[in-house]
Amino acid sequence: MAISQSPASPFEDLRHLISTGSLTLTIGAPTRRSEPGTFTIRRVDVSESAAGQFKIILDDVVDFLQSAELVPFDVDYTPGPDQVATLELANFQDRALIAELAEPSGLPRYDPNEEGLGELALYGLTVSQEDDRLVLVRKTPQIYVPRGKRFLGLVRNGRVEAIDEPILAFDGKADVLISGSTVFIFNSSAFKRLFITADLLRARVEEDTRLVADLIPIANVDEFLAACSRDANMMTKLGRLARRDYLSRLTIEDVRATIDHYGLPSDLLNERGEFVYSGAPKRRWLILKILDDDYLESLMTRRQYEVNSKLEHRR
């Protein structure tokens, strides 16, 4: 979508497109859970009244975008409440999902009874006019599908009527907005889950592994690299770890003291002071957790903790 670059014009262009363009709703369900970013997308017809409500949502999103601070997308950075991350479409290795959301007219209609269609994972609002497109993406719409003895009742004029069809609930928010060659990211966590997280991170995993292994050697570094390359969560943690400012100050003695203090497997380090990676379920995360400082002890209770996330306290 080509948008004028005059200072006030891009947002006015978007509002004009929203006002005058035709709107299509799409919903998506995972095709294969083992492949993030792979979805079956279906089209849903929209009534005039529903289209009006969706366009109000889009106008609100554009209003927020106009007032927000735009920052470059970084997999290791979570934008603040008044920030929106941006990423160019050219940086996507696989644009199949975006292509389907941008051109939904040829997609099959949604059928809740379609075989192989799992729980809904996303919905998209596409506004189009000639060659212009604006696409809003939101992770996981709320859906109620009547099953068994469960049902919803619609109260109308003092009378309850059973609703035996699926009901979708929309909250008026956006995770991603795609306009022209730019992706605006409102929710980085949802974006990474939906848009091929592994591909975005894989380009950096070798560099991140090298940065870590140069400071704290890993005997079987190729096995560690292969494991991180297959797991988007491990890639994310590795990327965050590689940029920790304390990493260059860590020593093997620090690592050995942590292993001893928290009763971790002693063979995590070999006789040469190198980490030894193991892919066993209970051990595959240990190197990342130790180096990311996930083993903590309370000064008040002396209890020891293994944490998944933390916020550094600064005096």
Give the structural domain span for 128: 9-195
Q: Are 187 and 204 part of one and the same domain?
A: no
CA distance 258 to 23: 57
Q: Are 161 and 92 part of one and the same domain?
A: yes
Q: Are 157 and 224 part of one and the same domain?
A: no
Q: What is the mean pLDDT of the chain?
A: 84
pLDDT value of residue 309 = 59
Mean pLDDT by 10 residues, the chain (315 residues): 46 93 91 62 93 96 94 82 90 75 91 76 93 91 71 89 83 92 90 68 82 93 91 82 88 93 93 94 93 82 71 54
Q: Are 292 and 182 part of one and the same domain?
A: no
pLDDT value of residue 199 = 57
* Angle made by CA atoms 63, 69, 70, in degrees to the nearest 5: 100
pTM of the model: 0.66
Number of domains composing the chain: 2
Q: How far is CA 261 from the centre of its chain?
A: 35
Q: Are 66 and 132 part of one and the same domain?
A: yes
Report residue 26: phi and psi, to 5°. Answer: -125, 150
CA distances from 181 to 92, 102, 172 (A): 11, 12, 24
pLDDT value of residue 3 = 35
Domain presence at residue 186: yes
The closest alpha carbon to 220, from 290, 269, 175, belongs to: 269
Q: Are 48 and 109 part of one and the same domain?
A: yes
Q: Are 101 and 225 part of one and the same domain?
A: no
Q: Are 160 and 204 part of one and the same domain?
A: no
Quickly count: other Cβ atoms within 10 Å of residue 136's Cβ. 25
Q: Tell which of 159, 180, 195 closes a domain.
A: 195
